[in-house]
Amino acid sequence: MHVFGLTDKGMVREQNQDAIFLTPDRIGPLPNLFVVADGMGGHNAGDVASAQAISRFCAYIEDFPLAQLVQPGDYLDLLVNAAQDANASVFAKSRESEAMAGMGTTFTACVIENGRALNVHVGDSRIYAIKPDKITQLTTDHTYVTQMVKLGKMTAEEARKHPKRNMITSALGTDSSLGLDGTAPELFGTTTVLLCSDGLTDMIDDAGILDIVNRPGFVEDRTQMLVDEANLRGGRDNISVILIDIGR
């Protein structure tokens, strides 16, 4: 497994409200861990929300007693519980001062084990499974336009260009309770797993991402190519990318 991650403020924003965490090595009971959090743009202290969410999430996992986790099948429960703990922490902090009121963050965390991408997810950051000829989004965006597409009121192409495409319907830290997705899709035939914020996917479509990820070269080079291309196309938001080669 070869891993690299970058976060960049882009070409427009004055501040980077994204945060990432990655380790291909063991953390607490987990064999590896990858996280992308995108502080909510337009809200107060989005950078605080994303950084604290990741910090609290990782601390929960590091402090978890190894003896209580026996089977890899229990990893997903741990991820869910850690995300719930992070939500409570960010929500409590948002109530400490007016400057932090309403802050929140997308949150997407993944563990790769036994041919699966065990993950918890809320918001519109994404996980992709990439093969030499195919890219598949493993997470579902929690956004207004995704709901409209599901209801048949908007096509996927219309959703991509809609002015409300970045309006998320669920986030970590904005409420005392957190509804999030927890899934464990198979990675059969996958060569690369990508975690990213919408600063990448708003600038580059899936076909463009597939092309760059499957180019020859080190994982560090291809990660930088993704960030550079998003900036070349306008870089309207913060850009975060974690690229995990698992089959090269």
**pTM listed for this prediction:** 0.92
CA distance 23 to 184: 19
Confidence of residue 181 (pLDDT cuts 50, 70, 90): very high
The CATH number given to whatever domain includes residue 182 is: 3.60.40.10
Alpha helices in the chain (DSSP H): 46-62, 75-94, 144-150, 156-161, 198-201, 206-213, 219-232
Range of the domain at 26: 2-140+170-245
**Has residue 63 been placed in a domain?**
yes
Q: pLDDT at residue 211 above 80?
A: yes
DSSP state of 39: B
In a domain, 147, yes or no: no
- Band of pLDDT at residue 148, cut at 50, 70 and 90: low
Q: 149 lies in a domain?
A: no
CA 234 – CA 236 distance, rounded (Å): 5
Is 76 inside any structural domain?
yes
In a domain, 130, yes or no: yes
What pLDDT sits at residue 143? 80
- Whether residue 49 lies inside any domain: the answer is yes
Whether the per-residue pLDDT at 153 is higher than 70: the answer is no
Domain membership of residue 206 (yes or no) is yes
Confidence (pLDDT) at 71: 67
3-class secondary structure, 239: strand
Is the pLDDT reported for residue 154 higher than 70? Answer: no
69: pLDDT strictly greater than 70: no
Domain total in the chain: 1
